[in-house]
Amino acid sequence: MKVKIYKKGHANLDSFPFRYGVTFEEDTFLEIGNVTNRRDEKNVTNRRGETVDRYHIDAYFLHPKKGHKVKGHFVLVNDKDNTVVTVWRSNEDSLAETKLSETIRSARERKKIAPEDLILMHERGLGTIDDFIDFLAEKMSKEEIEVVQKDAAEQIARLSNALSELAKEKALLISEIENLTKEAYDPRNSGGDWNPGIFTICPGSVRWGKKGKFNQDAVFITLEDENGNRFDVANNWERGLKSRYEQAKLLEGHQILYSTWGSYSKDWFKNIKSVGV
């Protein structure tokens, strides 16, 4: 899949330089692969006061300078371009990395550092919040550093409050998905044969249509595989069909597994189940 990096955005000016030693001269689409561990965040308020849906993933990309694959944890806006909000090294503590991101952003917005400084820090092997504060001490007074830290702490507090609400919403979502999955499940033939790979239900793609020998009512879903290829699958089994539609609608934008009945072609789905929700 491809994600968009804005040249004037936080990811390009702060995250990529500090964590990977690279920045992009123009708005750029970056190809990423081996996408795993998707986690959605609904109705997040960004720094401009706008409400957006975001999601987290782990993925690999080809380093523009070094020419080999590196892994990152991406925070993306759930829009048509999959805009990169920030990126940090995979397997790092998310709270520590968020604190580091906000501290870097505050210092850069106050014009105390530039992307070139962050690339230099990366080349020196500096990668923690303590390393960053020590580097700032060479360029800023103690009072200026405290202001930067205060800015970061306030932003993190706002994010924490928002995430607390999101946790409550996610608990309700999980309960609803579990109930619908039970109602939608087709137990015939042991639930079908599960197709290899993880797929994403494309937002806005779940719809009613007609399919089958007798032109039956059917639920259609557009899926995207791990390589960014899209295709449609359908289900027209009458029993549980409405629940199957509601289940799929609820899982739009989420990763799933899907099964197919026996020798039927892969453009039919029998059951779906969520991954990581």
What is the rounded average pLDDT of the residues 97-118? 76
Q: What percent of the chain has pLDDT over 90?
A: 33
pLDDT digits over 260-276, tens only?
Answer: 998 888 899 999 988 86
pLDDT at 77: 93
What is the rounded average pLDDT of the residues 155-159? 55
Which residue ranges make up each domain of the chain? 2-161, 185-274
pLDDT at 91: 64
pLDDT digits over 205-247, tens only?
Answer: 999 999 998 999 999 999 998 888 899 999 999 998 999 999 9
pLDDT digits over 19-55, tens only?
Answer: 898 999 999 999 998 888 888 888 887 777 788 889 9
- Tell me the average pLDDT of the chain: 83
More confident residue, 221 or 123: 221
CATH number belonging to domain 185-274: 2.40.50
| Sign of the CA dihedral running 7, 54, 223, 68 | positive
pLDDT at 163: 47
Q: How confident is the model at residue 175 (pLDDT cuts 50, 70, 90)?
A: confident
